[in-house]
Structure 1
Amino acid sequence: MTRAGRLLPLALLIALAGCSAAGQVRDGFADAATQPLADLNVRRDQIPTVLLQAQANPYDRRNLNRCSTIAAEVRRLDEALGPDRDEPPAPNGSTLNERMEDEIAEAALRAIRDASTDFIPYRSWIRALSGAQARSKQVQDAVEAGRLRRAFLKGLGMKQDCAPPASPGWYRPTGRSQR
């Protein structure tokens, strides 16, 4: 099936799904369509500073003697990484129709991304030669260091009897905190 043949059913589903899905596709279209630029290492996403700091020293304890400073650092990491696994999912209150629209929009963006990268022959070789694969590994390493740092900070927060977010979401301080 041709690229256009694969995209046509998705375009019809988006039209039927409504404005929300079309808006999501419109908002994510640029990233999906410019995926080849990332493969050629022309478009490079910046790694957040907090992740680079975590990568340099994930167990740094300087200035972490108060619960408020630990919580602030955890919030910075949450902003870069998204919510931690110990946090309950945010109540989205979406209806079944809204969730269906989200799934349709995601499928459309995946199809656009796939169609934009299909024309690159030997894509894995190009990613390796252009440095895009190495950059992708750098980003993955920074994310992993950020997760490790966040876990370390929450453990340190538990030791100091801090309330969440300076400790895991399930932890309840006993009241002897070093705030």
Structure 2
Amino acid sequence: MIRHSPRVRQLAFALPALLILAGCSAAGQVREGFADAATQPLVDLNVRRDQIPTVLLQAQANPYDGRNLNRCSTIAAEVRRLDDALGLDRDEPPAPNGSTLNERMQDEIAEAALRAIRDATTDFIPYRSWIRALTGAQARSKQVQDAVEAGRLRRAFLKGLGMKQNCAPPASPGWYRPTGRSQR
């Protein structure tokens, strides 16, 4: 007889009930994210590795590179590339998606279900932190975090440079309004 941890048993009973209550949308989101959540142990064993976007590697190499940044359009294009890799900056308001309270609840339930699946799949790995260190997964995770931090630093530098050149957003922070005529 296979014995499951209390967390796995709770998940086995709670997950179907939550998805039934949440409706089809949440179930679809869980279905789409299930593979990533279920394969989290492969990340811990350093078998599956996410690629770091080139724009973040470039930022990591030289976050203050000012070459060819003499036009607002060039700065804006570089900021957009970073936004694509990192998501929106903190100064940008979230895009209005017109979702209802029910849809937002379904999203939250789906996220909770995926977190529970991810937790359940990683709970069975004994000495997980040691395994992550021995397989190099922890070092890889640090590389990814460093690249993300360099990308954020570069984006902040670019927006500061854009403000100095009197550029409109996205080449400057979202709240900034150029005075007079901005550079193109």
- Classify the TM-score, shorter chain: over 0.9
Q: Following TM superposition, by how much is the alpha carbon of 1:11 offset from its aligned partner in structure 2, in angstroms? A: 5.0
1:17-64 Cα deviation digits (max 9, x unpaired): 111000000000000000000000000000000000000000000110
Partners of 1:73 and 1:62 in 2: CA distance: 12
Bigger drift between 93-102 and 75-84 goes to: 93-102
1:176 shift after superposition: 3.4
Counterpart-to-counterpart distance in 2, 1:106 and 1:159: 41
Q: CA RMSD in A?
A: 1.3
Unaligned 5+ runs, structure 2: 1-8
Structure 1: 5+ residue runs without aligned partners? 1-5
Q: Report the counterpart of residue 7 of structure 1 in structure 2.
A: 10
2:26 is the counterpart of 1:17: no
1:79–1:7 distance in 2 versus 1, CA, 3 Å: farther
C-alpha contact (below 8 Å) 1:58/1:146 kept by paired residues: yes
The structure-2 alpha-carbon separation of the partners of 1:10 and 1:171, relative to structure 1 and needing over 3 Å to count, comes to farther
Structure 1 residues 89-131: Cα deviation after superposition (integer angstroms, max 9, x where no partner): 2112111111111111011101100110011000000000000
Q: How many pairs does the alignment contain? A: 174
**Cα distance, 1:178 vs. partner?**
2.5
Q: Answer whether contact 1:10 1:104 (CA < 8 A) is retained.
A: no
Instruction: Provide the C-alpha distance between the structure 2 equivalents of 1:166 and 1:88, rounded to a whole number of angstroms.
Output: 15
- Indicate conservation of the 8 Å contact 1:67/1:157, yes or no: yes
Aligned match of 2:38 in 22, 26, 33?
Answer: 33
Q: What CA distance in whole angstroms lies between the structure 2 residues aligned with 1:178 and 1:140?
A: 34
CA contact (8 A) 1:7 1:112 kept: no
- 1:9 shift after superposition: 6.6
Q: Which runs of 4+ in 1 moved over 4 A?
A: 6-12
1:3 is aligned to none
Q: Kindly state the Cα deviation for residue 8 of structure 1 after the two structures are TM-superposed.
A: 4.7
Structure 1 SS opposite 2:166: coil
**Residues 7, 108 of structure 1: 8 Å contact kept:** no
Which sits farther off after the overlay, 123-132 or 81-90?
A: 81-90
Any idea what the Cα deviations from partners look like across 1:139-158, whole Å, max 9, x if unmatched? 00000000000000000000
Tell me the CA shift for residue 74 of structure 1: 0.1
Pick which of 123-132 and 89-98 moved more.
89-98
Q: Note closer, same or farther for the CA distance 1:8–1:137 as it changes in structure 2 (3 Å cut).
A: closer
- Cα separation, partners in 2 of 1:7 and 1:175, compared to 1, 3 Å: farther
Alignment CA distance shift 1:8-1:57 (3 Å): closer
